[in-house]
Structure 1
């Protein structure tokens, strides 16, 4: 969308904001783009409920705190929102069974945006105006969030913030939006520059990129360009695909362009179906260069597609496949936070509400995405605790900025501050072994076909 159309759209949202503010509260509706039906949480036992609790801010009542989430729950990116939701909900469910935070249960009001910008904008307005959520959290995707940021900015005078999101793009890390966004994960720039450094050290000099042709894809590709610039080099060749591509799509044209350019490695920025389709097409065409993906891709969902397809036609599509991650492996139970995640995922086994469920998507028992959602929920809960029994949006923000060297149990401490709204910087590298993602111990072996 060009700048004129974008500004026109924002003008339209201004009218929507005015209408929403004037409208009286309405009952929740089901369906895509509308809030899911959520039963009011049961009040915690009197013994655990502090005396004198009352509504201290929008989205806060005597018995609950409501958090708003817009994500992809249906369609080709269903696995991203689904697993992010499930990981966070496992932690919230556990907190709620223990009486909540200061006697209040946590309710997540989730809306489906189908990984598209305009629905995400509308969802954001709905969450803040009609649902009156206390805070926003766990948004999914660069093309969606980058378009919602100007809307969120309009609520700066109400101290609205977004905590944790499944995107490593730069806009929410820079002015004028960084002030209202608390990023927990490392950025795509950090992931891509780390990948470039690793492959460069292995001798790669000709780098190709394959990316989703939108803000997300460009963000990852920018990281590759910056990493190569540190070595006085440039990207050799580029290939793209449209958002919403399916695993069964033929990506041979993209493969041919990169293969003819003679690239040593291909760094991908996309979602699991589009990137999985590229890996499949590349290996079928005999293109054997190492292929990497950033964390957003949905590693476990992509691996499931590749393994299933490989068993059907007797080919291994997982060799020389390297993915960066922003959380440690979910199999490392020596880390207390990971062990806790596994226990609570098994105990609560959260399900996406029926109104948002995609019948074509099979949930992952454990995944990097749900672990990241789990970590984000721990940050939200800790900030709510520090905000006190009568939280306001301002005190919640102050509580977030008070988190310094906060131990999440994942081997890396989180630190926020007034001038630091990215909590973690760690990047991890994984390869496939025995149909599972494992940490890379031997890079030479990881990139061999």
Structure 2
């Protein structure tokens, strides 16, 4: 049974309550500190910077309207370059030196795995990590709160698409060689096995590199007619572009972590690519939260808002909703209880995340690349 994957489910009237009624009497905690370790440099930096920006836009709006029960939210961000050792350093600094209330919006599976021993010991809340890893979703050993679908959920949709819709039986994997790759590969293998299939070949490459030459040769020679991609936008776009230039044009799927907007922007040729997503396209969504997000991004002079911004924004919405129901200073038990309560009860928000036709199931959306 999955840990509650709390979703941002607020009613529209409640938005105004959060935004304009946080001016309840102030107390001795005038600042609520959150710590965010993410990639601000390196080949995955666009993921981290866009998640951070989305959260910051909403928090700034809350702060301008009185904060949360009189306390201002301070989102501290530190660059880890999507490297676990740096994440550990940042996490220790946030907890020991900054006394953060929670770790917020951390980016990545290998990075989350690296800080797990710290979080198991200290029980610091680990809120809305940008990862669908099973160890964060099923029987977690840390004080974690999720909103996004798991990678197993995404893998299921990808394999169903390739096998049932595209009629592929020769499917290969391109896998980032770390905990992230391992977790997603496990989900892909489980999903393939339901069709009595195995990957024709699994090729790997190192995190934070673009060295895909050998992996491309291996997959091309395997006869794979479709490839499930697991990684970030830079190496995946290099792989797809290079394959096309060599006359190799399989169908592709990719996980949400890759950042579809950045992956699509780096593709040079017409390619059959489907990316699974954990939040809807805000430009096509009818939810009041999509409308409010687009309005706030426009007010913040963000000209090209995307799903990463939206996920970061919703992370901030959810935290703010829960925190305003807790006395100051914030305590772990109240914060986690209110996060789960909001996710469970607010229909406007959970309609963005929960699959009403599946027990404990999450919605997985799809994006398709088209060369304009």
TM range (shorter): 0.7 to 0.9
Alignment of 1:318-337 (within 5 A): 318-337=270-289
The 1:233/1:414 distance shift into structure 2, 3 A limit, reads: closer
Deviation at 1:389, TM superposition (A): 4.8
Runs of 4+ residues over 3 Å off in structure 1? 47-52, 407-411
Q: Is the 8 A contact 1:412 1:424 kept in 2?
A: no
CA–CA distance in structure 2, aligned partners of residues 221 and 344 of structure 1: 37
Q: 1:142 aligns with which of 109, 129, 135?
A: 109
RMSD (Å) for aligned C-alpha atoms: 2.2
CA–CA distance in structure 1, aligned partners of residues 325 and 122 of structure 2: 23
Q: Is the 8 A contact 1:323 1:430 kept in 2?
A: yes
CA–CA distance in structure 2, aligned partners of residues 413 and 78 of structure 1: 26
Determine helix, strand or coil for the equivalent of 1:140: coil
TM-score if structure 2 supplies the norm length? 0.88
Q: Is the 8 A contact 1:93 1:348 kept in 2?
A: no
Q: Is the 8 A contact 2:23 2:68 kept in 1?
A: no
Deviation at 1:414, TM superposition (A): 6.0
Q: Corresponding residue for 1:69?
A: 36
5+ residue gaps, structure 1, are: 1-46, 55-60, 311-315, 351-363, 416-421, 436-449
Determine helix, strand or coil for the equivalent of 2:197: coil
| Residue 208 (structure 1) aligned with residue 169 (structure 2) | no
Q: Corresponding residue for 1:53?
A: 27
Bigger Rg over Cα:
1
Q: Give per-residue Cα distances to partners, 1:219-270, cap 9 Å, x unaligned.
A: 1111110001112221110111111124xx5x34322211221112100110
| Residue 263 (structure 1) aligned with residue 263 (structure 2) | no
Q: Is the 8 A contact 1:91 1:378 kept in 2?
A: yes
Q: Corresponding residue for 1:431?
A: 368
Determine helix, strand or coil for the equivalent of 2:129: strand
| Residue 274 (structure 1) aligned with residue 235 (structure 2) | yes
| Residue 253 (structure 1) aligned with residue 214 (structure 2) | yes
Q: Corresponding residue for 1:169?
A: 133
- May I ask how many residue pairs the two structures share in their alignment? 347
Determine helix, strand or coil for the equivalent of 2:274: strand
CA–CA distance in structure 1, aligned partners of residues 186 and 258 of structure 2: 17
Q: Is the 8 A contact 2:353 2:363 kept in 1?
A: no
| Residue 94 (structure 1) aligned with residue 31 (structure 2) | no
Deviation at 1:289, TM superposition (A): 1.0
| Residue 393 (structure 1) aligned with residue 345 (structure 2) | no
Tell me which of the two structures has the higher relative contact order, counting C-alpha pairs closer than 8 angstroms and 6 or more residues apart.
2
The 1:210/1:434 distance shift into structure 2, 3 A limit, reads: closer
